[in-house]
Every structure is written in C-alpha cells, then in structure tokens.
Structure 1
Amino acid sequence: MNPTGYPQGHALLIGVANYQQISRLPAAILNDVNDVAATLSSPDHCGYPPANVVTLLDANATRTAVLKRLDELATRAGPDDTACVFFSGHGGIVGSPGNEDSVLLTVDSDLADIENTSINSNELAAALAQIKAKRLLVFIDACHAGGAAISKSLTDDKGHELKSGYSQNTFAKLAVGSGRALMASCRADELSSVFDGARNSVFTTALLAGLRGAADKSASGFIKVFDLFNYVSEEVPKLIPDDQHPIFKADNLEVNFAVALSQGGKKSPYSPEIMLTVQEELPWSVLEKILVELYPFGPRDQEVWSRAGGDLSRLQFHSTGQAAWHAALRTLKQGGGGSNINFGSLLSAAKEDFSNHPQLAMLQTS
C-alpha cells in the first residue's frame, strides 16, 4: 500500500471578491481559494480526498450557504479527522471602542443591515465548536489592501460605512477548544497585502509554499501546525518587510499535530529528526508514534491488528486513534491482544503496507 493519501483531511474554503453591495476585492482572493483547494487535494502535496475539499466562491458564498457548509463539515469530519476552514474576503468590526467584535462578510452582506446579513463571531465560533475533529485549523485572510480604496473602511453606494478588519477578541474566540488553532494573515492594525498583478495575496503565497512542502523542513512527510505557522510567519515579512505579520492563536494546543501530507507523504531517510528519534527512543515508543501516524483510526484501521495476528475483541474501545494505539501496545507488551500477535508481527504488517517508510525500515522485528 502506498501512503499517498490523507483520507482524514476535510476542508471548507470560502472566498469572496465580487461583493454584491460592498467594495470589491482583487481577483487574487478567488485564486487563493482555488489554489489552496488544489494543493490540499493534490496527491503530490497534501493528499486530501478531492470530495472532502469544498469551495464556496463569490455568488455561492452567501450567509446561508456558508453556515450550511460549516454544518455539513461538522457532520462529515469525525473525531479522528483533521478539518481546515479557510476564508478570504472582507471582515468588519462592529461595537464600541474597547468592546469591539467582528463579523465575517458574505457575498450578500448589506451594510445597511449588517446584523442580519453577516456572520458574527458568536455564530462562527458556535459553528466551529460543532466540528468534532480533534484537529481544527482556521485560516483567515482578511483586511485586504489592494484594489478599491478599502484599507480602513468598507463602503457601499448608499453612504454606509464599516470599519474593515478583525478584532483580537474575535481571533481568540475562534481558537477556543482543545486541538483548535487559528492563523490570520495580519495583526488587527495591519493590512493583508495583495501586490498588483500577483496571483495570490502575500499571506496565501507563503501558505501555499508551506503546504507544498517548504514547512516540512525535517522531511517528516507531514505538514504540522506549528511548523506551518513558523514558516508562514517568517516568510510573509520577507515579502513585505515591517508591514504585515501573521498571527497565531490557540487556546489549548500542546501537540504539533499534522494537518496534511507533505509532498504526498515523501520522507527523507536521512532526516536528522528521523535518525535521532530512532536512535534515542525505545523501539516500542517509536513504533507507537509511527502507527498513530500511519493508522490514525487505531488498530482497526486497514485491519492491521488482525492481519498481524491480533484479536480485536481483546482490545478496549477508545474514542481516538492515538488513545487506542497507546492502550493496544500497552496490552501487547503485557502479553495480551491475541495469541498470535507480537511486536515483530505488527511491525511486519506495517512494513508490508509502507515498505518505503524510513523509520519502519530502521526498526528490527526481533
């Protein structure tokens, strides 16, 4: 079996440039969504199943449609999955100074009735909270500079005006929860730049490079959340020095979790990270990490436990793949899990599936 897919990956990507009643944005915003979608669903990059990558562009990105698709994402993404939500478009700031909040502006938003035609931060946070995936990453590329003169305010042709951007309070609210993180294109007092004639915004240019493998500096075969943010936060200021700084918010995030494959899962057998891991850690610990990575749904994933001679009825049920593997290997070390399974048979079964995996190759069956 060739590890060229990331079946647990789900994404909802939203982009609005041609607003019906508000200042329009450059075409790069639509390119951003299309290019991120193509990268996520490419077997040579992130490996998401194309059917799991949903896009809403311009006329299709109404308030009703966005909320409906968020609800669908919550339905299709299970606890062991990874979910990404990407929004590129206008954000607006409402409320009084010191008590500011933000709204996400959909294609049909009306400045004359902003309360009923936008998605406020409480609605968006509630929609995100319904997503069961233990790994959720939200990208917001808003407060755009470029195109119309919309740097600090949004206008329509009726004289209405709304401050452009997102508040820090909103960013923090959207990142609440274990395993949840938010990455935004710029600070609240900055602009998200789009160079004239550029295909993508500055933020998304760096994000795309990171997702296409540049963020995987250790050649682990995975794009991980901290590595991705570190890459983007270093690259954006190089493209536009001193004017734009991406921000990262996480409420309770301790694990540098994977969000996608890197270059289709390509790993380097000479990666310093891989060499040190195998040399310094006990084989059982190394095997557990590898199995969690390759079989994220636990011992039942691809029937690997049964194929290795194990008996699934001897294992306890756990809500996450990581917890299931930890308990299963602990049982195996104590002589349980089935009369015909052992460290060697489990390792051999994994090697049959992933014959080119460098860490597996370094482990010994005896």
Structure 2
Amino acid sequence: MKIRTIVCQVFLIFVFVFSLAPEEPSAETKILVVLSGDEENARTAEDLLAKYLFEKEYEVITSAELGAGDIQNAKQGKAREVTANYGAHFLLTGSVRSKVSSRETSTGIKLERAVTTLSYKILDASGRRVHRGNVQNDSAGRSPDEAVYGSFDYMASDVAEKIAEKIPSVLSSSRPQEAGTATGTGTVASAGPQIHITDPPVEEATRGLTRTIQRNRDTITIKGKVADNTGIRSVTINGAPVRIDTRGGFSHPIALNLGQNNFSVAAVNNRGMTATKDFTIIGTRGSSLTRSSDVIKPPRKGTTLWGLIIGVSQYQSPGMSLKYADADAKVLAQLLKTQQGKLFSEVRIKTLINKDVIRENIIKAFGSHLGMAAPGDVVFIFIAGHGIKHQQSGSYYFVTHDANIENLVSRGMRMSDFEENVKILSKNTNVGKLIMVIDSCHSGAMQMEGLRAVGSIQDDLADALQAAEGQFILSAAKGGQASIEARRFRLNQGDSGHGAFTFALIKGMRGEANYDGDEYISLTELFQYVSKQVPRLTGGRQHPYSRIAGTDMPFILLK
C-alpha cells in the first residue's frame, strides 16, 4: 500500500512538472525547394513555386539561399541532412524540363507553344516520402520566352494547390531540428529575420523606394510579417516596439506628416541577429495622380450609377471560348450593386452574359438602359472577352457571342460603334462621369488558351472619347500584350478563377486600393492599384493602360 502511494505521488509530480512546460507555438511549415534541369528554367520554376506557396502561408527556401553542398544533397534526396541545416520540415526536389514548338493559327498568326513537365517528390525531415507528383502544363505566346514563362506559371500554381492538399501550412507543436546543428558542407540559413511589408505596398523595389500617398489623416497603418528559424525576439518601427501575433504578423499605426516620412522596420531574432527594411512615404494634401487644382468631390445627392456589364466566355465558334470572362462580369456587377444607398442613391445594372452578348443587344442597352441616365449621373461600362483586328480594314472589333472571322463585319461590335453610342449618350444625357473598363483586345492570341487577345483598342477608343469631359478609361493591357486569365486568380475558396486584370480590379474595389486609409476608394486610387498589381500578378507580361480626362471622384464607399 505504501509503495502504491509513493508511485502515485511520483506520477502526480511528473504530470505537474510537464504541465508547467511551455507549449510550443504553432509554426509555419518550412519547405526547401530544389529543382534540377536547365539552370535558368529551374530557378524560374523555384521562384514561381515559392511565390504561390508563400501566398498559401508556407515558408519557402529555394536553392538560391543554399550552399553548394546542400544543393547537391537535396538533389540526391538526402532530406535529413539538408533540412537540419535550415530548420525545414520538408524538402521538395525534382526535375523540370520544357519543350517549345511553333504553329500557325487559321488567321496566319505564328505562335510558340511550350510544354513544361515537372517530376517531383516531397520528403519529410526524416527522409520519408510523403508525396510524389508529375505535372504537365502548356501555354502559348508570341515568343518562346512568353510561352515558357506561362507554362511555368501554370505549373507552379497547380503544384502549390497539390501541396496545400497534402501538407498543412501550419504545424502545431512541431519543431524541426535546430538550424545549424547538423554538420556538412552547407551553410546556416539563418542570416537574420525576414521582413515583408504588405501595406503600404512598398515591396516593388528594394532601394531608393518612395511612395506618394494622399494625406487625409494624421496616421497610417504599417502592416507586415516577420519570420526566422529561431523565433522573433522583438520588432520595432522607428524605434517604437511593435506587437506581433503568433504567426509573425504585425499592424502598427504611426504618424504621417506632410512631406518626406522615413520609416525603418527592425526585427531581432532569438540569437540577437537584426534585420531592417527602410522605406520612404511622401505625405501630400492631394492624390499624386491628380493636379493640385483638382478637388475630389463625391457624387451629388440623388446620383444614380448606371452600369452596362458585358462578359462573353462561350462563343458559337469552336476553339474561341474563354474560361472566366463571364465570371468577371458577374462578380463585378454584384459588387457595384452593393454601392446602392452609399455613394449612389440608386445603382441600375444591365448585365449581358455569353449568348446574350450580340450586337443588337449591346446597341439596344446603350439606348434603352444607359439612355435613362440623368445629367450628373455616373455611367460605368465594362466589357470582357475577345477582340480582333480586321485583316483588311485594320478596324478593331469586340467579338460578340455569334461573331467569328467570317462574319466579323456584320456580327462583331466595332470600336467605332462604341464611340458613336458613347457620343450619343453624352449628348442626350449630359452624364457627369463616364467610366469604361476594357478587358478585351486584339486577336493574335484568339486561340491561345488562357489568353484574351490584345492590341490597340484602348488607344483608338480613348482618342475617340477624349473630347468629352469626365472620361475615365482603364484597359487590361497595352498594345501587343496578352490579357491573362487563370484558375489561380480566385477571389475566394469556392471561386473558379478570373482574368488577372479583373481580379486586381475587384480586390482594389474591396478595399486594397485604399492607399490613404480613408472611408472610400477614388477612381485614381483604383486605377493606380490595378496598374501596379497586374504586372506583379502576371510576372511583367501584362501592363494595364489608363487615360483620365476630368477630376477625380470617390467611387466605392467602404463603410
């Protein structure tokens, strides 16, 4: 009996002692990515994989940060050694290859087609294989580089999706071996904390960075994230302590003065190593995109927003169909309707989707729907789909549901048709502002999967509309560039995908374009946001075009 009592006491003491031990915090899953193949292609594939995995909250280290010995070990599948050196949970290794071929479309356009194959496996820190895959993606472009990059981009997005299904982005109470404890030829990866600033958007450049924002308030909020193998001891902004959450995120309000404001974000890890990120913001009394004489005025009371939203993905002619132009139109129409009772007393939207997008319906909508606008109202026109340049006349056409190469003149919608209808609308209604957003282009890529054809439509239309006051033109891409759509441009988990341009447009309208932190998003803020985000989303393959003739105005009320 006495022995049993002693055993019970010892057991209770053991439980009590371990209950006092601090619980290990959850940590982001860290993955090493090392690929073989053509050196340039392998590095590009690694960078794109890192981009998409980072978006899914993984921490990623590519071969660019590894020592030569560790790269060799990783390629040989020696996960135990290399993961220990970098405090990683998993190793993704494999080989990537790409093959390019040329073909000519029925319209005589020469295209390059790239097929990329990635064979890979994922090993945990003990060397056990947890996943293996083989993916193949193809893309077309007007140059081999464009085609190869597109196929790599699709491949990286697909692989990141597969990894997210197999491996959680956060591992609870799980810690890899201490970084640097293993011996070998590799170097210790922890050269200091990593700092990422997410707002204001200052990550586009690395040095000499300046951002001009509108000063409507005395403070801005700096948001970001810090990470390090050993943990983060402290974070400061201009010397002031900043609170971070369990995943390294921070959000810190700080004073913003007129003129130059210098900011320095510093992070110290648990080994006492420090990293800093410096940037400058110029505080002004007006938007950097407006003249000093311009005054941003909200729509007058009783103003109605009239919208004509057009999106066509399904075409009568085989091989022309897109995937997401109709989805772009639907989600944009829904978002605009939420502004009723906010900036606009009423929002009247006419939506034409797929089979309803024919020449007669578009012209009719200009007269019977937009024609009801009163003086001072705001008109918003959005078109998404294919565009084509007529080979003989050189005129640009928006390709309607029932149009094709043969009947383009009779069934397509010429840009001069839009010009004529806008002029009639402006003369008859005297609307206050007209906003036209174009996710359509010229044909060279009409049959290229994932691309909406692009050309100089935006130049012709903007020139035609310039004479009218209060005209705002925003187009998906500059002449000669493709307008890209893909499944990865999803606004939520159940979303199917969107064009990169409309994806950025919606994100901006939902609040990300609110650079000055006030209660609304102005048109110039929105145009500025889209112009910055689309090149980042497309790896520099697509650059939106905009033209503004008139004073700025609030467009989306956030509260």
TM-score, normalised to structure 1, is 0.60
Which one of 186, 189, 197 corresponds to residue 477 of structure 2?
Answer: 186
Q: CA deviation at 1:175?
A: 3.3
Instruction: Select the structure that is richer in helix.
Output: 1
Would you say 1:24 and 2:320 are equivalent positions? yes
- 2:370 corresponds in structure 1 to 74
1:112 alignment partner, SS class: coil
Would you say 1:242 and 2:533 are equivalent positions? no
Q: Which moved more, 1:219-228 or 1:65-74?
A: 219-228
Q: CA deviation at 1:65?
A: 0.3
Structure possessing the higher radius of gyration over alpha carbons: 2
Which one of 326, 337, 358 corresponds to residue 41 of structure 1?
Answer: 337
The 1-side partners of 2:346 and 2:377 are apart by 15
- 2:402 corresponds in structure 1 to 108
Would you say 1:120 and 2:414 are equivalent positions? yes
- 2:355 corresponds in structure 1 to 59
2:406 alignment partner, SS class: helix
Q: CA deviation at 1:77?
A: 1.5
Q: Which moved more, 1:22-31 or 1:73-82?
A: 22-31
Q: CA deviation at 1:196?
A: 3.6
1:26 alignment partner, SS class: coil
1:213 alignment partner, SS class: helix
The 2-side partners of 1:73 and 1:223 are apart by 26
Q: Which has the higher contact order (CA 8 A, sep 6+)?
A: 1
Q: CA deviation at 1:117?
A: 0.9
The 2-side partners of 1:182 and 1:174 are apart by 11
1:170 to 1:13, Cα distance in 2 relative to 1, 3 A: same
1:60 to 1:254, Cα distance in 2 relative to 1, 3 A: closer
The 1-side partners of 2:422 and 2:413 are apart by 12
List per-residue Cα deviations over 1:159-189 (Å, max 9, x = no partner).
xxxx864445423235322111210000111
Alignment check: 8 A CA contact 2:322 2:385 kept = no
| Pairs within 5 Å for 1:120-199 | 120-131=414-425, 132-143=430-441, 149-150=447-448, 165-176=455-466, 177-196=468-487, 198=489, 199=497
Q: Which amino acid aligns with 1:182?
A: I
The 2-side partners of 1:183 and 1:83 are apart by 14
List per-residue Cα deviations over 1:265-311 (Å, max 9, x = no partner).
x3xxxxxxxxxxxxxxxxxxxxxxxxxxxxxxxxxxxxxxxxxxxxx
List per-residue Cα deviations over 1:296-331 (Å, max 9, x = no partner).
xxxxxxxxxxxxxxxxxxxxxxxxxxxxxxxxxxxx
Would you say 1:225 and 2:520 are equivalent positions? no
Which one of 367, 373, 381 corresponds to residue 85 of structure 1?
Answer: 381
**Identity of aligned pairs, percent?**
22
1:248 to 1:169, Cα distance in 2 relative to 1, 3 A: closer
The 1-side partners of 2:326 and 2:341 are apart by 20
Unaligned runs of 5+ in 2: 1-298, 490-496
The 2-side partners of 1:221 and 1:73 are apart by 30
Q: CA deviation at 1:51?
A: 5.8
Alignment check: 8 A CA contact 1:6 1:47 kept = no
Instruction: Select the structure that is richer in strand.
Output: 2
1:111 alignment partner, SS class: coil
- 2:557 corresponds in structure 1 to 262
- 2:513 corresponds in structure 1 to 215
2:480 alignment partner, SS class: coil
Q: CA deviation at 1:109?
A: 1.2
Q: How many residues align?
A: 247
Alignment check: 8 A CA contact 2:442 2:457 kept = no
1:44 to 1:238, Cα distance in 2 relative to 1, 3 A: farther
1:204 to 1:261, Cα distance in 2 relative to 1, 3 A: same
The 2-side partners of 1:85 and 1:69 are apart by 11
TM-score, normalised to structure 2, is 0.40
C-alpha RMSD over aligned residues? 3.1
List per-residue Cα deviations over 1:78-121 (Å, max 9, x = no partner).
2211111000001111256xx84311111111321211111112
1:11 alignment partner, SS class: strand
Q: Which amino acid aligns with 2:502?
A: T
Alignment check: 8 A CA contact 1:46 1:212 kept = no
- 2:190 corresponds in structure 1 to none
